[in-house]
Amino acid sequence: MADLSDWIPYDERSYEPLGPKDKLHIKKIAKYSANNYSPYPFVVDRAEGFWLYNMDGHRAVDLLSAYSAVLKHRHEGIIEAVENELRYGSDLVSRALCSRAFAEFAEMICTVTKYDRVLPKSDGGSITDSAVGALFMHGHKKGIKEPEVILTTDYFHGRALTFGANAFFDEDQYYGKLGKVNGIKVVDHTAEAIKNAINKNTVGIFIETHKGEGGPLFTKKEDFLAIKKVVKDNNLFFGCDEIQTGLGRCGYLMAWQEFGEEAKPDFVTLGKALGGGVIPVSALLGTEEFMSIYRPGLDGSTHGGYPPACAAGCASLKYILEEGICEKSLELGQYFTKQLNEIEGVNAENRGLLIRLEIEGVKSAKPACYELLLGKNRDPRVFMKYGHKNYARIAPPPGAIVKETIDWVVEKTLKPVLMYAKEGPEQAPLIQKN
């Protein structure tokens, strides 16, 4: 019989950093950093495989490597490729000259993705800027005075949209506010809503194939194809943000490939895993027709095409293919999701190893996520990210975890925490006072 005297509901618990060194570093960040994030109080000192180590000797299983890599933390092959470029190649920072490394990267990424041309940048926000900016340039070229681009609700395309700065942020509603910006229309993620929004000024549609930060929320094949049809019937450009979903995460090199060749967008953006977690690399890939929008001087950045970043990009692509990351994501994603759905009070849905976990009966998944990482004596500690509503996102590194890791994490930590995450101590034998 459970000892209910030990029960403290999750949302009444308070969580401290796990030791004095973490505490000290958190203080430094609080003192010197802009207050633009509210991180978990866990200070990563070192990362390896699927592990994150803090300053005080604790470690946590990283179930959110989507922020960096699909392979594993500090992949030796990628580090070696970057090191070789730095030691024996060039650190040229400019595309005012050509470089061997950029030539190799451009050829490789176009060959692998079957797009005609690439524009390189460093982060996801600025490559989004390039993609949407290209649509506006296309509109102006066609003589449209006030071109419009359509996005869909619950999107997240980063925070560097120069055409609207941060106007899309809103304290009350985090996502879907870019509608305030001139030329950007935000409508429901349906073919019908897009069709109704198209007018003579519309130049293109840009969506996440599956929405990462907003859920994740997954797009069904028929809905995706219906959206593409509306866009093409109106002779517009169709682009997909694959920064989070791409490069094997959802079981395909680009998540749209799940829907077949007819789904192919005119352009896609890639980021995150493209640098293997070692160097920030992003890319806009497009058909000849879409990429012909560009003329010298219309876009570019100092670090876009930086040789060590190109080396990281080539190595990431090579290892993603060699290590069968797409296949691993499909298999492990299905396995993990099935295990999660066996936990009482939890619903899980996935595309490969991008998993949405919904905890029934709670307002937010935040308290459960804090308990997983910082709860008293949790072993193993687990890092995953609470999101919208009562959702959490699980996206471990497919190149590092195996079925045994999943079994272990589910049995030892996820099950005991998630089963009792909803308020009420009715049956909480495994919950300890923090």
Q: How far apart are CA 114 and CA 233, in angstroms?
A: 23
CA-to-CA distance for 304 and 114, rounded, in angstroms?
A: 20
- The residue of the chain with the least Cβ separation from ligand PLP equals 124
d(CA 55, CA 46): 8
Do 343 and 418 meet the contact criterion of CB atoms below 8 Å apart? yes
**Pick 124 or 183: Cβ nearer ligand PLP:** 124
18 vs 227, which CB is nearer to ligand PLP? 227
Residue 271 vs 396, nearer CB to ligand PLP: 271
> In the structure encoding, which two tokens stand for residue 414, read together?
């996820």
Q: Which is nearer to ligand PLP, 243 or 401 (CB)?
A: 243
> Which residue's CB is nearer to ligand PLP, number 26 or number 160?
160
CA distance 276 to 313: 7
CB of 100 closer than 8 Å to CB of 89: yes
Where does this chain bind ligand PLP (CB under 6 A)? 123-125, 128, 156-158, 160, 208, 212-213, 241, 243-244, 271
CA atoms lying within 13 Å on the CB side of residue 205: 31
Residue 69 CB, shortest distance to ligand PLP, in Å, is 13
Report how far apart, in Å, the C-alpha atoms of 332 and of each of 133, 155, 336, 338, 395 are.
Answer: 37, 26, 6, 10, 11
Q: 212 vs 352, which CB is nearer to ligand PLP?
A: 212
Q: Which residues of 59-73 are buried (b: 16+ CB within 10 A; e: fewer)?
A: bbbbbbbbebbbbbb
Q: What is the CA radius of gyration of the chain?
A: 22
Q: How far is the CB of 37 from ligand PLP (least distance, A)?
A: 12
The least CB distance from residue 81 to ligand PLP, in Å, is: 21
Name the minimum Å distance from CB 130 to ligand PLP.
12
Q: How far apart are CA 278 and CA 79, in angstroms?
A: 7
217/414 with CB nearer ligand PLP: 217
Contact predicate 243/271, CB 8 Å:
yes
Q: Measure the CA–CA gap between 151 and 158, rounded to whole angstroms.
A: 13
Helix, strand or coil for residue 65?
helix
Cα angle: 38, vertex 39, 40; to 5 degrees? 125
Q: Tell the smallest beta-carbon distance from residue 427 to ligand PLP (Å).
A: 37
Tell me the closest approach of the beta carbon of residue 122 to ligand PLP, in angstroms: 8
Nearer to ligand PLP, 47 or 273 (CB): 273
Shortest Cβ 278–ligand PLP spacing (Å): 14
Find the shortest distance in angstroms from Cβ 214 to ligand PLP: 9
